[in-house]
Structure 1
Amino acid sequence: MPEKSLHSMLRNEWVYPTVSLRGSTDSALVKYILRRRGYTTRKQQESFLEPDYEKDMHDPYLLSDMEKAVGLLFDAIQHNKTVAIYGDYDADGVCASVVLHDTFKALGAQNILIYIPHREEEGYGMNIPALQRLKDKGVDVVVTVDLGSTNIKEVEWLRENNIVSIVTDHHIVRATHPKADAFINPHKEKEPYPFPYLCGAGVAFKLAVALLQYFRKHNKKAPPVGWEKWLLDIVAIATITDVMPLLDENRVIVRYGLLVLAQTRRYGLRALFEQCNIQPEYNRETRTTNLVSSMLGFRIGPRINAAGRMMHADSALQALLAKTPQEARRLAAVLEKANNQRKDAVNGIVKTIQGRSEKIRESNAVVMGDSDWAIGVVGIVAGKMAEFHRKPAFIYQKKGSSCVGSVRVPPHFNAVEILEEAGDVLEKFGGHKQAGGFSFSQENEQAFYEQIQKSVREAQKNKKATPSLSIDAVVKEGSVSVSLCEAISELEPFGERNTEPVLCLQGVQVESIAAIGADEKHIRCVLRYGSSNFKAIGFGLASDALQYMNEGDTVDVAFHLRKEEYQGVENVVLHIVDVA
């Protein structure tokens, strides 16, 4: 089958496989998808399908400065020094804080504090007033999680005040970085660690594992070998929520983390499952669970994140540390309320921005701010705008004399590179390839707007303007089955860099189509292919689909294959991705 592209309902170019699928079995299709994703040998495919915690996790001591950090923490715990964990206010930072808290406690630490800054009042990273308060409480050691790589002056302040500094982080490291007593970040220059894409909680987990190994080696009080796997429930949540590539170690972390989540001992997570109407199941014989990565990314993670976005992340932290079911349920209800407030705030801002569509159409990037927009949700709004308008989006809050915001960009742009181009008018900036944060003085607002438009225009010159949709396989009528759906599930967990396979049926007839949902944003269809009828659903596609296709039309449909059970009978459902 030759590679083919065309414009679709969602203005994508569909890119078909260049090699035809040979064989019609479910396993043949799964292996075909794996080969297309670079897993060409039998050994690579087996390793991907059956990740092994003991074999596939890298030695934590390969991270530079790990020995220093472990030595400093060993001394602190053995001598009952006061250790402060300084974490970020998002789900990754909260989960990372819990990882180290639980590990230090398990190793006998008596004096542990957790400090998480207020997003709106303090902003990202360490700040000296907060460090002064920790000093006043007698803190001897500060360990950062999910932050610290840009806190040069704050680390220097710690040194001047005789407080040990251990920075653990996963954000991009610039040429000038803090001179901490130990600095652990897989993105450091000439870093020997083989996998750079751990989240903040993932880096904290590596520190926890190294510390446990050291205590056991020196015959000190430590939980039994394997105890650390119980931490994988929250490390998995952080990995998914922070949108890290599900490759290498991260695949192992999430695969095992889902199994741990199904058996979690944490009252807080159990209460969140109740709020989300999720009933975890774990089969001890097959070592499988009904939990999937999307449950973490779209249901559990947003509720943990909502605390830091709408109030203070301490509510999420305390939920994960809850010691009774009653306390956990109370805090889960608080997070549920915050999440609903977050949804309302996002919808309000999106509605306002979409009312300025003419200005957006004429620009290279969406660049907008307002004093009424909550800083905690501007990142979500930026993501929605970047996806909808297919261009970089910079959304910010105006507060006093400052503007603070977030950027999200389509896959063919680099957020940090664009921010670097605007460095002269920015006070702070940082982030990843697809996302970042920034701040600037309000007096530079117009200069910021003009510089971003210029930078994006320059970046577009060598970029492909039309986004593409990669089709993993074109399937035939007899292939679309419950057994194929189950075979594809072996590729789980799905997420960044291991996306759920997109299948395609060509020449499908639309038997029926209707808008559904309270706001009629979704569609339900019956699609006929050969002698078979398939139920299909498209979430958020009503406005496009009802204009693009009608009953009786013949179309090609790109979809994710899912199964549903009704009255004990299993059937497949096509979750529509796009139509052409």
Structure 2
Amino acid sequence: MIEQLPQNLHPVLRRVYAARNVCGPADLEHGLNELHPPHLLSNVDTAAELLAGILMAQGRILIVGDFDADGATSTALAIRALRAMGAKAVDYLVPNRFDFGYGLSPEIVQVAQAHRPDVIITVDNGISSLAGVAAANAAGIQVVVTDHHLPGPQLPDAAVIVNPNLPGDPFPSKSLAGVGVIFYVMLALRTYLRAAGWFTSRGIAEPNLAQLLDLVALGTVADMAVLDRNNRILLEQGLRRMRAGQACPGILALLAVAGRTCHRLVAADLGFAVGPRLNAAGRLEDMSRGVECLLTDCPQSASTIARELDALNRQRRAIEREMQEQALASLEVLQNEFATASLPRGLCLLDAGWHQGVIGILASRIKQRLHRPVIAFAPAADGNLRGSARSVPGLHIRDLLERVSSRNPGLIVKFGGHAMAAGLTLHEGDYERFRLAFEATVTEMASEEIFERIVLTDGELEPDQLDLSLAQTLRVAGPWGQGFPEPVFDGVFAVVDRRIVGEEHVRFRLQAFQNETMLNAIAFSAARHGWDKVQGVVRLAFRLDVNEFRGRQSLQLVIEHLEPAS
């Protein structure tokens, strides 16, 4: 396979690409003409026809989104696209997670009726909203569901459902984020309106929907969608627009408050800097503020909202840190009573004081630390418990919840999600029964191997390959992300010096073991693991990074894993 890759590639990059099943030059093409065509997506043409009829009649369209970054970008994209195509009455509604919970619920339909919509378009939700769609139908409101989450055994009775994960759907990419699905629906709608002569008859400039790919890129990365080739094209095209300063004012403002510069932007900046700030609105308050940031065309307004979101994100980090300390203290008590190997294979955590908007991040952090599936629960305003689940590779968490639910009818009020992440609702009194059922089902479904912590790397580098030039090459060779990981290498180094920076990060001065080359390195959030006390010779798993300070670029290793060298 490696022989089929271009000969002019750096040999390390050729090796990296081959390990990610890049078979040849065609796999590295990121032009929009390489995207899978919209007509392959089941029901997309039917959705386009229905929406075109409402738009031409100047009917009322209501977007119902989700309260995360994928939902916010999906909502903003739908509104921007519909307005650009001539829709006059387009509004949106994002359920507040604390008052309504997830998705198109009957309660949200009741709120939606105040907008008097002719059609509700769900974005990044709806595939499990059986009762909500039924309530909308009863109120005489058509529903177009656009979603990417895995469907359950019964589908909602919507006018149209567009979801690449519907049974039998021929769309080749099953990994579209919610924002990717609505982008494809808008492409199909534009095609229908063009064929109907809508733009020419109304004197409307046909919109260039590629201008919305900044939103597609952000939502795709923030939702950790698997970067198959189709998603890599969408992401790369969005990044190119951002690097050229052509993103919407809200994204530019969020980049600015995060201290990122457009021309050096990579996918990781969206995942670690922009996404969390946008998500903070939905986690702590109301995602409508995040949507407004993405909708405004005024740079001053965008900057003001971005600063608000940045403040919320700092607040979110403080809450998360406190919750994580509480959770780890509880786990330490368990580990003092049992060997780590005797801890349950699946962990359920609950604290009455935990913040409902942060439990997903908490579950993710504990999962990373203990390498086992974790569900963190917090009380909801309706008296139920909301849970956020995170899994490890090899254990499909939504399938697991479905098995628990089918064996224990009524135990789970509702659930939904993906292979690696899911959400669920329980009656408060059922927590202990669910915990036991969850632990037993994890033990039943999971093989012993998935609990082994394995660090995968792209091998070692030669001493002369530890340089700035290769780091620069790898930085722009992606886009890297979920399912197409950024290259990680391993090697042995001597620790010359280390110190804590920024409260919990650890900066190292290293000496390459093979020669006397001195290298700078950083390990993020590593002080909490005691890495600030490491000394001697160590084996590292690391990424090559380009550090820029006062206009000068230098090589920096970003340490992902550290252990004493044997």
Q: Normalising by structure 2, report the TM-score.
A: 0.91
Residue type of the partner of 2:460? Answer: V
Q: CA deviation at 1:468?
A: 1.1
| In 1: Cα distance, 2:283 partner to 2:144 partner | 26
Q: Does 1:275 align with 2:276?
A: no
Residue type of the partner of 1:419? Answer: L
| In 1: Cα distance, 2:131 partner to 2:552 partner | 63
SS in 1 for 2:319: helix
Q: Does 1:47 align with 2:26?
A: yes
- Corresponding residue of 1:572: 555
Stretch moving more, 400-409 or 525-534: 525-534
Deviation per CA, 1:427-469: give whole Å up to 9, x if none. 1111101110111111111101111111122233453331211
1:453-532 to 2 correspondences below 5 Å: 453-506=439-492, 508-510=493-495, 512-528=496-512, 529-532=514-517
CA contact (8 A) 2:85 2:206 kept: no
Residue type of the partner of 2:101? Answer: G
| In 2: Cα distance, 1:412 partner to 1:559 partner | 24
Q: Pairwise CA RMSD of aligned residues?
A: 2.3
Q: CA deviation at 1:325?
A: 2.3
Residue type of the partner of 1:550? Answer: Q
- Corresponding residue of 1:10: none
| In 2: Cα distance, 1:261 partner to 1:547 partner | 36
- Corresponding residue of 2:191: 213
| In 2: Cα distance, 1:565 partner to 1:117 partner | 41
- Corresponding residue of 2:535: 550
Residue type of the partner of 1:516? Answer: I
Q: Of 315, 333, 352, which aligns to 1:358? A: 333
- Corresponding residue of 1:108: 86
Q: Which runs of 5+ in 2 are unaligned?
A: none
Stretch moving more, 492-501 or 220-229: 220-229
CA contact (8 A) 1:523 1:542 kept: no
- Corresponding residue of 1:16: none
Change in Cα spacing, 1:209 to 1:520, as seen in structure 2 (3 Å) is closer
SS in 1 for 2:348: strand
Q: CA deviation at 1:531?
A: 3.4
Deviation per CA, 1:479-523: give whole Å up to 9, x if none. 2222212222343211101111112234x333x132221424423
Change in Cα spacing, 1:426 to 1:505, as seen in structure 2 (3 Å) is same
Q: Does 1:539 align with 2:528?
A: no
Deviation per CA, 1:101-149: give whole Å up to 9, x if none. 0111011111111011111110001122321232343211111100000
SS in 2 for 1:455: helix
Q: Does 1:325 align with 2:325?
A: no
Whose relative contact order is higher, 1 or 2, with alpha carbons under 8 Å and at least 6 apart?
A: 1
- Corresponding residue of 1:11: none
Deviation per CA, 1:71-102: give whole Å up to 9, x if none. 11111011011111111111111110111101
Deviation per CA, 1:405-432: give whole Å up to 9, x if none. 1010122322113212321221111110
Stretch moving more, 60-69 or 196-205: 60-69
Residue type of the partner of 2:489? Answer: L
- Corresponding residue of 1:247: 228
1:26-105 to 2 correspondences below 5 Å: 27-40=10-23, 44=24, 46-54=25-33, 56-105=34-83
| In 2: Cα distance, 1:468 partner to 1:355 partner | 25
Residue type of the partner of 2:391? Answer: V
Change in Cα spacing, 1:558 to 1:67, as seen in structure 2 (3 Å) is same
Q: Of 246, 251, 270, which aligns to 1:264? A: 246
CA contact (8 A) 1:26 1:483 kept: no
Change in Cα spacing, 1:560 to 1:384, as seen in structure 2 (3 Å) is same
- Corresponding residue of 2:418: 432
Change in Cα spacing, 1:427 to 1:219, as seen in structure 2 (3 Å) is same
| In 1: Cα distance, 2:282 partner to 2:464 partner | 48
Change in Cα spacing, 1:327 to 1:548, as seen in structure 2 (3 Å) is closer
Change in Cα spacing, 1:221 to 1:403, as seen in structure 2 (3 Å) is same
Residue type of the partner of 1:492? Answer: G
| In 1: Cα distance, 2:8 partner to 2:333 partner | 50
CA contact (8 A) 2:378 2:386 kept: yes
SS in 1 for 2:430: helix
SS in 2 for 1:464: helix
1:281-300 to 2 correspondences below 5 Å: 281=263, 290-300=264-274
| In 1: Cα distance, 2:223 partner to 2:247 partner | 23
Change in Cα spacing, 1:378 to 1:540, as seen in structure 2 (3 Å) is same
- Corresponding residue of 1:408: 390
Residue type of the partner of 2:396? Answer: N
Residue type of the partner of 1:261? Answer: M
SS in 1 for 2:472: helix
Residue type of the partner of 1:350? Answer: Q
Q: CA deviation at 1:211?
A: 0.9
SS in 1 for 2:375: strand
Q: Of 187, 194, 198, which aligns to 2:176? A: 198
Residue type of the partner of 1:339? Answer: N
Q: CA deviation at 1:543?
A: 5.2
Q: Of 367, 381, 406, which aligns to 1:386? A: 367
Q: CA deviation at 1:525?
A: 2.3
| In 1: Cα distance, 2:554 partner to 2:469 partner | 10
Q: Does 1:227 align with 2:201?
A: no
| In 2: Cα distance, 1:138 partner to 1:317 partner | 21
Q: Of 422, 429, 432, which aligns to 1:443? A: 429
1:161-176 to 2 correspondences below 5 Å: 161-176=139-154
SS in 1 for 2:543: strand
| In 2: Cα distance, 1:132 partner to 1:567 partner | 55
Q: CA deviation at 1:563?
A: 2.2
- Corresponding residue of 2:166: 188
| In 2: Cα distance, 1:135 partner to 1:569 partner | 57
CA contact (8 A) 2:266 2:476 kept: no
Of all paired residues, the percent bearing the same amino acid is 26
CA contact (8 A) 1:481 1:572 kept: yes
Q: Does 1:342 align with 2:316?
A: yes
Q: Does 1:308 align with 2:282?
A: yes
| In 2: Cα distance, 1:340 partner to 1:548 partner | 27
| In 1: Cα distance, 2:249 partner to 2:551 partner | 31
Change in Cα spacing, 1:62 to 1:26, as seen in structure 2 (3 Å) is closer
| In 2: Cα distance, 1:225 partner to 1:53 partner | 18
Deviation per CA, 1:166-212: give whole Å up to 9, x if none. 00000001221112111000000000111111000000000111111
SS in 2 for 1:454: helix
| In 2: Cα distance, 1:438 partner to 1:244 partner | 20
CA contact (8 A) 1:406 1:436 kept: yes
| In 2: Cα distance, 1:520 partner to 1:90 partner | 27
SS in 1 for 2:449: coil
Change in Cα spacing, 1:226 to 1:250, as seen in structure 2 (3 Å) is farther
Q: Which runs of 5+ in 1 are unaligned?
A: 1-18, 282-289
